[in-house]
Amino acid sequence: AEFRAAKRMNGAIEYLPVMADCERALGRPERALELSRNPSVKRLAKADQVEMTIVEAGARFDLGEVDGALRTLESADIKSLTVAALKALSTAQLAALTTDQLPALTTVQVAALTTDQVASLTTGDLNSLTTAQMAAITSAQAAALTTAQIANLTSDDVAVLSTAAIK
C-alpha cells in the first residue's frame, strides 16, 4: 500500500518491480502479472526492466505456468542482471537462462552465483562458459560441483577450475 501511495504522490515508476514482487509475496501472482504488463514498465531503467521480468517469471511459476516462466526468463537481458537479482534466481530459473544466455554472464555475475546455482548447472552449461567465466568461479562454487560435472569438462577448463578452486 505504501508503494502505491508513493507512486501516486510522486509519479515514480521505479516502484513497479518492487510492488509486483510484494504482490507475489502476498500470494497474489495475478496482480504481479498485471503490474508487469503496465505500459510504464517500458520506461523503466534496464536493470529495473530485468527485475520486473524476473518477478513476472516468478509469478508465472507461482501460477503453475512453468513453461511460461521459462520463456519469460529467456527474454531477459542477462547482462543487465544485478548481482542481487542473479542470486535471487531459483535453480529452475537459472536453468532457463543457460541455453543461450549463460555465456553472456559477466565474470562478476558468475562469481555471484550461489553454490546451489553452480551445482545445478549441467555439463553442457559448464562447457558453454568461457575461460574467463571459469576463472571467476570461487573455491566454494567449485566445491559444489560433482565429479560427474567435472569429469566431462575439457582439460583446459579443469585446469582453470583447479586454479580457481585454490584462490
Average pLDDT along the chain: 80
Tell me the per-residue pLDDT of 65-89, one tens digit each, with 9 for 90 and over. 888 887 787 777 766 666 777 777 7
Tell me the per-residue pLDDT of 93-142, one tens digit each, with 9 for 90 and over. 676 665 567 777 778 888 888 888 888 888 888 888 888 888 888 888 88
**Whole-number pLDDT of residue 6:** 57
Q: Which residue has the cell 515514480?
A: 12
Count Cβ neighbours within 10 Å for each residue of 129-150 and write b for 16 or more, e otherwise.
bbeebbbbbbeebbebbeeebe
8-state DSSP, 76: S
Q: Output the CA–CA distances (angstroms, integers) from residue 157 to 130, 151, 164, 165, in the order listed.
A: 9, 10, 10, 12
Grid coordinates in use for 141?
562454487
16-25 vs 29-36: helix axis angle to the nearest 10?
160
Closest by CA position to 136, among listed 115, 161, 104: 161
Q: Give the Cα separation of 59 and 29 in Å (integer).
A: 5
